[in-house]
Chain A
Amino acid sequence: QKEVEQNSGPLSVPEGAIASLNCTYSDRGSQSFFWYRQYSGKSPELIMFIYSNGDKEDGRFTAQLNKASQYVSLLIRDSQPSDSATYLCAVRDTSGTYKYIFGTGTRLKVLA
C-alpha cells in the first residue's frame, strides 16, 4: 500500500514567521509531487508542484524535494493569517495508473 504521510498538526506559527510543512512518501519511484491548500469546507487549491530534486520557489512559497530521503516539504515565508488552512501533499503513483495519492494534510494556524 503506497502511502503519503503528513503530521496532522495543528502547526501554529506567529504572523510573519516561516511555516515548514513536511511530507514523506513510500514509493521510491515517485516523480511528481504536489502541494495543495484547502480551506475548511472548500476544495483543494494547487499551490505548487515539483518534479526535480532541490528547491522550487514561487512567491512566498518554496517546495523542497529530496528523493533519496523520500520527503518533500513546503516552506511559507512571511506567514499571514490568511494562510491558515490544511495543506495537502500529493504524490503521483508511478505504476502507470496515474493515480494521485494524498496525505491527510497538516493544519496550519497563523497567529496574528
Chain B
Amino acid sequence: EAGVTQSPTHLIKTRGQQATLRCSPISGHTSVYWYQQALGLGLQFLLWYDEGEERNRGNFPPRFSGRQFPNYSSELNVNALELEDSALYLCASSLGGGELFFGEGSRLTVL
C-alpha cells in the first residue's frame, strides 16, 4: 500500500514568487495536515483539511493557503515568498484522528 506522497521533492524559488506543493494521502485517509519545519527547528502546524474542508490553521499569515480535492489529495500554496519560508514542508494523513503518517516532504528554498 502506498504511503503519503509529496511533490516536488525540492523546489527553488526567488523572493516574491509563489510555490505550490502537492500531497496525496494514504488511500482511505480523509485528513491531511501540513507542517513547516525550518532547519534545526520543530514542526510548526500549518493547516488541517478533512473531507474537503479547511478545519484548522496554525499561526501563519494568509499567504499560506491550500485546499483539499474530492479525492482527498491536497495542495499548499505559499504566495509572496520570503526568505524565511525556506523549510521542509511536511504533509501527513490520518484517519479519524488516529496516527499521523508523514510523506517524505518538499524542501523549499527561497533565494
Q: Binary interface profile of B, 40-72, with partner A (CB < 8 Å = 1, else 0)? A: 011101001010000110100000000000000
* Closest chain A residue, CB of each to CB of B56: A97
Q: Which residues of B contact A102 (CB under 8 A)?
A: 35, 42-43, 45
- Between A and B, how many residue pairs show CB distances below 8 Å? 53
Residues 3-31 of A at the B interface (beta carbon under 8 Å): none
Q: Are A104 and B42 in contact, with the CB atoms below 8 A?
A: yes
Q: In this assembly, does A99 line the interface, its C-beta being within 8 Å of a C-beta of chain B?
A: yes
Taking the closest CB of chain A, its distance from the CB of B88, in whole angstroms, is 8
User: A99 vs B57: C-alpha distance in the bound complex, in angstroms?
Assistant: 9
Q: Is the CB of A99 within 8 A of B97?
A: no
Whether the Cβ atoms of B45 and A100 lie closer than 8 Å is yes
Q: Is the CB of B45 within 8 A of A90?
A: no
> Is there contact, CB below 8 Å, between A32 and B42?
no
Residue of B nearest to A45 (CB): B102
B76 on interface, CB distance cutoff 8 Å: no
Interface size class of B (residues with CB under 8 A): 20 to 34
Interface centre among B101, B102, B104, B105 (most CB of A within 10 A): B102
Q: List 19 A-B contacts (CB under 8 A).
A: A34-B99, A42-B104, A43-B102, A43-B103, A43-B104, A44-B90, A44-B102, A46-B99, A88-B42, A90-B100, A97-B48, A98-B31, A98-B97, A99-B48, A100-B33, A100-B100, A103-B42, A104-B41, A105-B42
- Chain A residues engaging chain B, CB cutoff 8 angstroms: 32, 34, 36, 42-46, 49, 88, 90, 92, 97-105
**Additional pairs, 14, CB under 8 Å, beyond known A45-B102, A88-B43:** A36-B102, A42-B104, A43-B102, A44-B43, A44-B90, A98-B48, A98-B97, A99-B45, A100-B45, A101-B45, A102-B35, A102-B42, A102-B43, A103-B42
